[in-house]
Structures are given as C-alpha cells and as structure tokens.
Amino acid sequence: MNVLDSFKKLAGLVFRMIKGVVTPWTVEGEVDYDRLIKEFGVSKIEDKLLDRIKKYTKELHFMLRRRIFFAHRDLKWLLDEYEKGNKFFLYTGRAPSGPIHLGHLMPWIFTKWLQDKFGVELWFQFPDEEKFLFKKDLEFKEVDNWTRENMLDVIALGFDPKKTHFIIDTKHASMMYREACRVAKKITFSMVKASFGLDESSNVGSIFYTSMQAVPAFLPSILKQKNIPCLIPHAIDQDPHFRLTRDILPKLGYYKPASIQCLFLPPLSGVSGKMSSSKEYAIYTTDSAEEVKRKINKYAFSGGRDTLEEHKKKGGNPDVDISFQYLRMLFEEDDKKLERIEKDYRTGKMTTGELKKITIDKINVFLEQHQKKRKLAEKKINEFIYK
C-alpha cells in the first residue's frame, strides 16, 4: 500500500468516527469544534484552562492560542497533580511505514514545547508491528528502514536526549508484552470491533494491537514502581485507542492517562479538493527547496479569485487557502504578522502568488534547519533508544 492509500485509510477512519462531518473542517474551512468534541466525547479547551497552563509555562504555544490543540481529557486533573508536586510524563508515538510529512510534525513540535516548559520525560513509542499488521503487503524489513528514518525526524525536533526514551515494540517486547497481556485480558473482541471497525475477517494481530499502544501510558509507573500521571498529545484520530486505555488502566491500578488532541494539517489539495497522486499531496521533511516551491505553487489549494482583477476587487478567502492554513497551523508563530497576512489577503491587497511565496519561504527556512539536524541525528539514535 502506498502513502496515498494509507492517508485515505486514515482519513476514512476519521470520517467514520465523526460521521456526517466529512473532515474536521466544514465546507467554509472553519473547524466545527463543537461537533468534533461532541462526537469524540472529549472536552473543549476553555480559556480558563489556558490561563491555568500559562501559570506554569509563562507563555502559550500558538497551537494552544489558535486551538490547533483544541480538546483534552483530564488536563485539569493532570495540572492539579502537577501543582501538588506529582510530575507527569509525556507519551506519544508514530507507527513507521513511510516518510514523515509536515502534518506528522505538528503534534511533535507541540510535545517538544511541553517537554521544555514542564521539564518532563517523554516516552516515544514506535509500534513497528502496527502498520505491519494493518497493511497487507508491508514486510518488517521495510518497516525497519522507516523506523530509523522516522526516528531521525523526531530527534531533529530537538527533544532532550536525557529525558526522552524511544521504545520500539518488537525490540522492547520483553518489557512490554507482559503488560500488554494484562491490558488485553480486559478487552473483549466486541470492544475492539466497536472502537476500530474490525470484524471476523481481521487478523488476530490487529485485534490485539491496541493493547500494545496502551502500554507506554503506564510503563514508567511500572519501571519506577509508583503511579505517575501521563499526558498524551496526539492527533484526534488516535482517540479510540486511548478511550480504551482509559477504561482499563484504573482496573489494573494505574491512573487514567490525560490527553490533549490536535486537528490534522489539511493536505495540499485543500479542505474540499480532491487528492492527486501520492507524491503531491504532502510536503515531506526530506523535500528540497525546489520541490517545496513546485508543490506549493502547483498543488496548494488557493482561496484566491479566478482573475487578478477580481481578486483585487473582492479579496481572497484565507479560511480555505492551504498556504495560509500552513502558516496558521505550523509556520507563523507571530499573531500580529499572521493577522496582517490574513487581512491583506481577505481584502485583496495580497495576491495568491505573494501569499504562496511567504509560505514557501517559511517552509524552506524550517526544512533547511530540519534537514541539517536530521543528518546530525544519525549519530544520536542510540542515545534515544531506551536501555
């Protein structure tokens, strides 16, 4: 299965979960937060909660200010514990099966910020069996290559090697399997069927898998032999796993993990556009500056008007404009600058070409740095793998 297929599958999963809403975006390009929150049963991140976070972090990450991270479970409880001196750890992950694109980086950039601000440990899971089990033709040999490649991208984001532990399911199996079995014993086939849309024809590995994804949420508690609160930053599609995890961990004597959820970065083709060939739907961390320029110019869905004349007169629509959305969700931290771009585009003062140029430059400045750090990361992999 290629990258496009896997994206379609993932998108399909989310579509199914938020029944009726085709994407987390409505047609106008605005996120229907209330609908999302209701369908998933997560809690909205209210201003009061942001103030509370700010108390400890001094400033708020733009992904919080802009509600890119828009929902949570038990975050208040987690902060209460933190205030009492009961520090939490972070847990997130990536199932290796292909290259990393900008959308993958979004929750990890935020996770790195959380690690810095709270000075906490991060457990990063690479469930190398997940895609192997879920994708028909994928072999472990190929997965191994992606595990390594994906690790480079994670390390390149600057996580603290002293506080960050990579766990690879098949490599750390002797530490994880017993705990996964304790989880699995509390999950019935019908629970898995309902949560993940599996059925009698699904392979038994895929039915078991969610038990492995639950393990890092309490593994540090086992290793340190005391209960430690856990916070999981993740994209909203992973919520079914952690809903199950939260049901089960208290039955095993551990805390329910808290979580904080973000939206997906939309594909280049746009919030309503059709996807073209797999290579064109996303920007990968290894793309060259030329490639980025070509992809944005050729494929980034534009909220501009058909003619320059009309655009100058009526203005563009940044809400559906992919270049603008990439700035808002990932690349322009400065609210004032973003506001100015939004205003100039909406009033027609800024053309689509100008907006695209800003986004291309931002992405390329980021990727130039990222690719350097990614190269340096080759020597650091061992430091990050849990021993």
The residues binding ligand TRP (CB under 6 A) are: 91-95, 125, 127, 130, 213, 232, 234, 238
Tokens read off for 383: 């430091």
Q: Among 227, 223, 224, which residue's Cα sits nearest to residue 249?
A: 227
* Choice between 18 and 217, CB closer to ligand TRP: 217
- Taking the complex as a whole, the smallest distance from the CB of residue 181 to ligand TRP amounts, in Å, to 18
Q: What is the DSSP letter of 45?
A: -
Closer by beta carbon to ligand TRP, 156 or else 212: 212
Query: What are the structure tokens assigned to 287, written together?
Result: 């793309």
User: Measured from the CB of residue 90, what is the shortest distance to ligand TRP in angstroms?
Assistant: 10
Q: How far apart are CA 182 and CA 260, in angstroms?
A: 25
* In the complex, minimum distance from the CB of residue 26 to ligand TRP, in angstroms, rounded to a whole number: 25
* Burial bucket for residue 313 (CB in 10 Å: 0-12, 13-18, 19+): exposed
Q: Terminal CA-to-CA distance of the chain, rounded, Å?
A: 33
Q: Which is nearer to ligand TRP, 74 or 130 (CB)?
A: 130
Residue nearest to ligand TRP (CB): 93
Kindly tell me which of 92 and 323 has the beta carbon lying closer to ligand TRP: 92
* Single-letter amino acid, residue 166: F
Q: Which of 128, 207, 136 is nearest to 173 (CA)?
A: 128
DSSP 329: I
Shortest separation between residue 23's beta carbon and ligand TRP, angstroms: 18
Our CB check for ligand TRP shows the closer of 115 and 238 to be 238
Compute φ and ψ for 68, nearest 5 degrees.
-70, -45
Least CB distance to ligand TRP at residue 138 (A):
13
Minimum CB–partner distance for residue 34 and ligand TRP (Å): 24
Cα–Cα distance for residue pair 237/210, rounded to 1 Å: 13
What is the smallest separation between the CB atom of 239 and ligand TRP, expressed in angstroms?
10
Give min distance, CB of 128 to ligand TRP, in A.
Answer: 10
CB proximity list for 85: less than 8 A, separation 6 or greater: none
In sequence order, the β-bridge partners of residue 180 are none
Which residues is 124 bridged to in the sheet?
92, 166
283: nearest Cα among 323, 334, 337, 234: 323
Residue among 147 and 371 whose Cβ is closer to ligand TRP: 147
Nearer to ligand TRP, 23 or 125 (CB): 125
Residue with structure tokens 């019908």?
A: 190
Nearer to ligand TRP, 107 or 318 (CB): 107
Q: Looking at beta carbons only, is 95 or 330 nearer to ligand TRP?
A: 95
Alpha-carbon distance of 244 to 239, in angstroms, equals: 9
- CB nearer to ligand TRP: give 179 or 342: 179
Shortest approach of ligand TRP to residue 209 CB, angstroms?
8
Give the Cα separation of 264 and 14 in Å (integer): 10
210 three-state secondary structure: helix
Residue 224 neighbours by CB distance under 10 Å: 10
Give me the least distance between CB of 134 and ligand TRP, in Å please. 9
